[in-house]
Amino acid sequence: MNKVNYQLLLDREIVCITGEGRVPSLLMHSCCAPCSSYCLSYLAEYFSITIFYYNPNITSKEEYEKRVEEQRRLIRELPAKYPISFAEGRYQPEKFYEIARGKEGLPEGGERCFACYELRQREAVNYAKEHGYDYVTTTLSVSPHKNADKLNEIGLRLGEEYGIPYLPSDFKKRGGYGKSIELSKKYGLYRQNYCGCEYSKRQREEGMRYNMEEIWDVYDGNGVKTGRTMERGVPVDGDYMLCVHVYLCNPEGLFLMQKRSESKQSHPGEWDVTGGAVLSGESSAQGAIRETREEVGISLSEENLTYIGRVKKRRSFIDIFLARRNFTIEDCRLQREEVQEVKLVPGQEVLRMEQDKRKRERDYVELLRRMLAVSGS
């Protein structure tokens, strides 16, 4: 199945609207002021927007009220071509607990979150229908921690059910998340470090979830540190982040491949290599060691690593490592938020998976061939 480009669908809708000379009304569900900042600055050029604040997942009343006030303040201070208004939904934490029952222990980004998406989007779609809006959407897709495919799937289904057009979106595209961080800093917005529910807060505190305040070094197009940093997300145009891919090989010449969690936003359920972003202040070797320990529970030292080379992508550099170590599948301890399964495969199968299934770039495949030659596979 081909992946839907929701940003492209939004682009096409905007072209139609502007071509007809219309300024439609849009009810935009907002999770918080920081996430809405970019969405508002973008869509207020084309729509008359009402922010709909309905978030029963925020189970602390004090936290809820703090976020409401920041949302109101942003609307007052943000310049917009067309006026932006505000509508507050009912505060109903009991509704969130109802949909979360039996899912309390699930990792962030899974079925509990999907049920929460639908709870909030259903209320927004119903409100939009009752009050005669032309479109309805949500800001949630701007976050790298939210599944844009699932959000749009739910929104489009509810729009059809209620008979109101749902505006498809993937606001994190084109540096949207990075721009929301910039706008948050510009307006001094309160930026929470968890989504709002007690489960995400608890998992953050226990280290079960991604650290939503991960800091990365920013690199220029030549792979040189700029001296600037960014929070976890998508680099803005012209900036790059550094990632690592670690091909872990045992003495029998078999490589560890991991199946991505179904809750992952990109490539859920696909086979992949161990890896991730390098944190600010880390070397790529240190990042490779940390990611391997976190994702599959295998401890490495720099003596285990052989650096193979670097690939440049549109907004990132990837440093590729061969890691030799004596280990078995039984030694792996999986980070379930990232990995649902692992297997050992021969080198040529790694090449086939990466080249044919993941469609790696030619430069990447050449480095992969070099890695297999170094490993003796």
Strands of the chain, DSSP E: 25-29, 48-53, 84-88, 135-138, 215-219, 225-231, 241-249, 254-260, 271-272, 274-277, 305-312, 316-324, 339-346
Domain residue ranges of the chain, discontinuous segments joined by +: 6-206, 215-375
Intervals of the chain under pLDDT 50: 1, 208-212
The CATH homologous superfamily to which domain 215-375 belongs is: Nucleoside Triphosphate Pyrophosphohydrolase (3.90.79.10)
Q: Which residues, at least 6 apart from 303, have a Cβ–Cβ distance to it below 8 Å?
A: none
pLDDT of the residue at 1:
47
pLDDT of the residue at 209:
41
Quick one: which of 109, 97, 100 has its CA closest to 195? 109
Is the pTM for the entire model greater than 0.85?
no
Per residue in 256-288, pLDDT (tens digit) is: 999 988 767 677 888 999 999 999 888 999 999
State phi, psi for 240 to the nearest 5 degrees: -135, 155
Quick one: which of 104, 106, 107 has its CA closest to 96? 104
pLDDT of the residue at 205:
61
Per residue in 78-122, pLDDT (tens digit) is: 999 999 999 999 999 999 999 999 988 777 778 999 999 999 999
pLDDT of the residue at 144:
73
The CATH number that domain 6-206 falls under is 3.40.50.620
- Find tokens 């960014």 and name the residue: 230
pLDDT of the residue at 207:
52
